[in-house]
Amino acid sequence: MTSIPEALLWCLSAGTAAAVVLAALSIRARGQRAGLRTRLSAAEEQNSATLHSNTELSARLRATEAEIRHLAGTRLPDLTLALAHPHVPVPGLKDARFAGTETDHALSAVLEQVSDAITKERSRVDAAAQSTLRGATTTIQALLYQLQTALQEMQHRYDDPSVAQDLLNADFLNEQALRRIQATGVVCGAWPGLTREDSYLAELVVGATSRLRGYERVQVSNQLRDPIAVVARAVEPIAIVVTELLANALHHSHRELPVTITLQQGNRGASVIVDDYGVGMHDDEIKAAMELLSGEDSLLLTQLGDPPRSGFAAAGQLVRQYGFGVHVEPSPYGGVRAVVYIPGDPLLTVLDESTQPMSVMAPLPHRSGMPERSHSALPTGATTPAPAAVPAASAAPAAPSAASYEAPAQPAEGELPRRRRRKPVSELDESAERTDSLPPRSPEETGSRWAALQRGTESGRAAAQSEPPRSPEGNAQS
């Protein structure tokens, strides 16, 4: 009887133990499933982050590729163009998110290296071109000077008017070619190629105008108080600059309008003022002209345009080398005013007119009581126009008095001798009356008179030595 309860007890004990084991296993399984779910969730989050990171990386890679294509297709070509034309803008980054990043720095370094390489190559090629042109222009210029000498010798040798006219025309054409070659050579760093003696400023200006077509339109007004001259080394450079400024004035004004030149004397130098009545220049054109005329920046031949315009560039080179100045601005007459300022120290001097008389082609200075003789410049070898009429009050030579001067120009002890007249006063009056009754001479008519002038040259020079003295020069009150 007692074995049955024990058996039941053991059965209950075994069932309880089994239940406990099953409960433990169930708890453990639930824990494992929770851990698995946690790991799966973490893995999903990690996969999502990786996918997002990969997406951002792909987008950045595509943006970088687009930036590189923008560099190659737009920024580099515009940079190349901007090096030749500074007003062309160079685009920046296509995507502003790259600003200040390593990518931005790398692309900027590429632009700088390309710019430096292009600039050096352009300078090397331009220097080679300038060297070639410099050698060619020097040779051609020497040949043209030889031709000029030969033509001038023939002008003195032949008296036939038709031959003289042909020689004058040939000499004038040779002068045009010489001016172009000379300006081109100066732009390329060549020496002006002509050595002169100290020359009166008035003579220099008249000689410069004679190099140009349309010289008959140029009117020279001499307001100098003293017989000012330019020192030898600066004569040809200043003549070149005045010629180029005049060429610009003649080219940009109507062929029936005059171009005026005024010679002014200041306390520290002298000025040649060129005024035209032409179309004028815009502000940006004046700015560009001043940059060329300053001579401060290095110049490439490709910057001179197509066809090249070398006039202002040549003037700028000479300004930088010889120390005078050029300024352009709108003229009060509606065109352009150009001023060549020549400092007295060290480019000017005062000559003794008794030992080195001024040419009769140079305009007379403005004097009190007597209007100045303002005339058009003539080509090389041409005769001078008749001087202006002399007032009756000065028909007879008279001793100069202090009353005929402005205060700054009063005679002083040690004052240099003044120029002598080339003709007696009576002849001046007579020739002036003939001039007033005749129309202005054309270039052809002027050339036809050259032969007659040649025959009278020697006798004229002899007569000039015995002519009566001219009254001292001075500035009239305006």
Mean pLDDT over the full length of the chain: 77
**Residue 367: φ, ψ to 5°:** -120, 155
pLDDT in tens, 412-467: 333 333 444 344 434 334 434 433 444 444 444 444 444 444 444 444 444 444 44
Q: What is the pLDDT of residues 346-387, one digit of tens each?
A: 899 999 888 888 888 888 886 544 445 555 544 443 433 333
**pLDDT score of 91 more than 70:** yes
Alpha-carbon gap, residue 51 to 53, rounded angstroms: 5
- Higher per-residue pLDDT: 111 or 379: 111
Regarding predicted confidence, which is higher, 65 or 419? 65
The residue with greater pLDDT, 434 or 46, is 46
Length of the chain, please?
A: 478
Q: Identify the pLDDT of residue 71.
A: 92
Residue corresponding to tokens 């008519």: 445
215-270: pLDDT as tens digits: 999 999 999 999 999 999 999 999 999 999 999 999 999 999 999 999 999 999 99
At 299 the pLDDT is 83
Torsion of CA 444, 387, 207, 165, to 10 degrees: 20
Residue 203 has pLDDT above 90, yes or no: yes
The confidence score (pLDDT) of residue 35 equals 73
How buried is 141 (Cβ within 10 angstroms: 0-12 exposed, 13-18 middle, 19+ buried)? Answer: buried
Residue 295 has what pLDDT? 86
In this predicted structure, the answer to whether residue 320 has a pLDDT above a threshold of 70 is yes
